[in-house]
């Protein structure tokens, strides 16, 4: 299995080191061994101001991954507002430098801007030209949130997909996964809806329409989307087997809480034959290997 979404380093809003959570690379690798995960993508966060309390820069992530180069894969995080805070910023030199240092993708993008903000489109287009898949967090509002923001129905994400057709965008977060259903109450759009899924929603339509969109199944939002109507979840995995990525969003906080639902969920998929072996292999390993050039 390849885990497409993990984090290393300090996590916590306190400046007191004793009160912040820290996940070190050896701890993550030990968990990977326990869970049967071959490789993990490690995403930096604090290169964007919205991630100020995650304390893990791109340079930190590269250093962590260099300790276990056969197991951990670094991504680069550059904020769309980087440079001159302009839609004309040239990201090509920085992205090429980080590629040479081992980064195989970009993200997690958590800047609290609209998906179709010209600065976001510019950055995504540069990532596409660099051949880097991008992991994004989707938010339901601007202000008091982190992640790229959209309205109900994901119209801004669709405009981004159209504007950056050569960029693989791996979507994650409540505002994306709530749209697995056609019924998306505004009050739960940014959280974990509990209502049964009512037919394929906009996330399904966008996956059907845009070959550059992938689904990152990590965190509570990804697990909730699959579990809220179990049979629909299995059908969704089978239908979009070429465009989905096993991922956990593992960080110290989730490990301490034992809050990594994807592990048991994927074990159940295989043990009980919920989806075909070919679909399982693609989602658990092959799609990620293809995007990462492994």
136: nearest Cα among 156, 115, 158, 165 = 115
Residue 254 pLDDT:
65
Q: What is the mean pLDDT of residues 262-282?
A: 96
Per-position DSSP letters for 186-237, written without gaps between them: GGGTTS---SPP-SB-HHHHHHHH-TTEEEE--HHHHHHHHHSSHHHHHHHH
Q: What is the mean pLDDT of residues 142-157?
A: 95
Tell whether the model's pLDDT for residue 250 goes beyond 90: no
The most confident of 42-56, 207-221, 249-263, by mean pLDDT: 207-221
Sign of CA dihedral 157, 158, 163, 165: positive
Of 23 and 161, the structure prediction assigns the larger pLDDT to 161
Q: What is the mean pLDDT of residues 96-122?
A: 97
pLDDT band at 51, cuts 50/70/90?
confident
Q: What is the pLDDT of residues 180-195, one digit of tens each?
A: 999 888 888 888 888 8
Residue for token digits 């693989």?
168
pLDDT above 70 covers a percentage of the chain that reads: 94
45: nearest Cα among 61, 66, 64 = 61
Element (H, E) at 41: strand 39-42
Residue 146 DSSP label: -
Residue 119 pLDDT:
98
Least confident of 25-39, 42-56, 89-103, 258-272: 42-56
Spatial distance between the Cα atoms of 270 and 283, rounded to a whole number of angstroms? 12
Mean pLDDT of the chain: 92
Residue 206 pLDDT:
98
Give the Cβ contact number of residue 23 at 10 Å: 24
Tell whether the model's pLDDT for residue 276 goes beyond 50: yes
Q: What is the mean pLDDT of residues 200-212?
A: 97
Task: Tell me how far apart the 2 most distant CA atoms of the chain are, in Å.
Answer: 53
Q: DSSP alpha helices (H): ranges in the chain? A: 25-35, 58-66, 82-85, 92-100, 118-129, 155-163, 174-177, 202-209, 219-227, 230-239, 252-257, 261-271, 277-281, 287-292
Tell whether the model's pLDDT for residue 95 goes beyond 70: yes
Residue 256 pLDDT:
57
pTM over 0.85, yes/no: yes
- Cα-Cα-Cα-Cα torsion 158, 159, 160, 166, nearest 10 degrees, comes to 90
133: nearest Cα among 171, 86, 176, 82 = 171
**Which residues lie closer than 8 Å to 144 by C-beta, 6 or more apart?**
none
Q: What does R_g of the chain's alpha carbons equal in angstroms?
A: 18
Query: For residues 219-245, b (16+ Cβ closer than 10 Å) or e, as one string?
Result: bbbbbbbbebbeebbbebbbbbbebbb
Q: What is the mean pLDDT of residues 253-271?
A: 83
Q: Encoding tokens for residue 169?
A: 């965008």
Residue 253 pLDDT:
61
Tell whether the model's pLDDT for residue 157 goes beyond 90: yes
Residue 191 pLDDT:
82
Q: What is the mean pLDDT of residues 111-116?
A: 97
Residue 19 pLDDT:
45
CB–CB of 178/154 below 8 Å? no
Element (H, E) at 170: strand 169-172
Least confident of 13-17, 142-146, 258-262: 13-17
270: nearest Cα among 254, 260, 288, 283 = 283
Residue 123 pLDDT:
98
Q: How large is the angle between the packed helices 155-163 and 202-209, nearest 10 degrees? A: 10
Please give the domain boundaries of the chain with CATH numbers for all domains.
Answer: 2-292 (3.20.20.140)
Residue 252 pLDDT:
64
């Amino acid at each position: 299995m390849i885990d497409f979404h993990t984090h290393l380093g300090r996590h916590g809003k306190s400046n007191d080191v004793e009160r912040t959570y820290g996940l070190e690379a050896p701890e993550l690798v030990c968990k990977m061994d326990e869970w049967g995960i071959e490789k993990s993508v490690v995403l930096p966060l604090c290169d964007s101001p919205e991630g100020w309390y995650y304390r893990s820069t791109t340079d930190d992530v590269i250093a962590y991954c260099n300790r276990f180069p056969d197991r951990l894969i670094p991504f680069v995080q550059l904020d769309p507002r980087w440079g001159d805070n302009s839609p004309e910023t040239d990201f090509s030199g920085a992205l090429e430098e980080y590629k040479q240092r081992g980064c195989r993708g970009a993200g997690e993008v958590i800047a609290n801007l609209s998906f179709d903000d010209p600065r976001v489109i510019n950055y995504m287009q540069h990532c596409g030209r660099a051949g880097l898949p991008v992991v994004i967090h989707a938010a339901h509002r601007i202000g008091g949130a982190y992640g790229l923001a959209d309205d109900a129905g994901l119209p801004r994400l669709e405009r981004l997909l159209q504007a950056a057709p050569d960029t693989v965008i791996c979507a994650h977060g409540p505002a994306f996964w709530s749209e697995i259903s056609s019924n998306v109450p505004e009050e739960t759009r940014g959280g974990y809806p509990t209502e049964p899924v009512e037919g394929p929603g906009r996330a399904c339509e966008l996956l059907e329409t845009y070959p550059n969109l992938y689904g990152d199944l990590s965190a509570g939002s990804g697990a909730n989307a699959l579990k809220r109507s179990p049979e629909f979840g299995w059908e969704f995995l089978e239908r979009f087997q070429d465009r989905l990525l096993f991922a956990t969003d593992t960080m110290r906080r989730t490990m301490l809480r034992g809050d990594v639902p994807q592990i048991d969920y994927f074990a159940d998929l295989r043990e009980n034959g919920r989806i075909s072996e070919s679909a399982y292999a693609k989602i658990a390993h092959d799609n990620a290997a293809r995007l990462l050039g492994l």
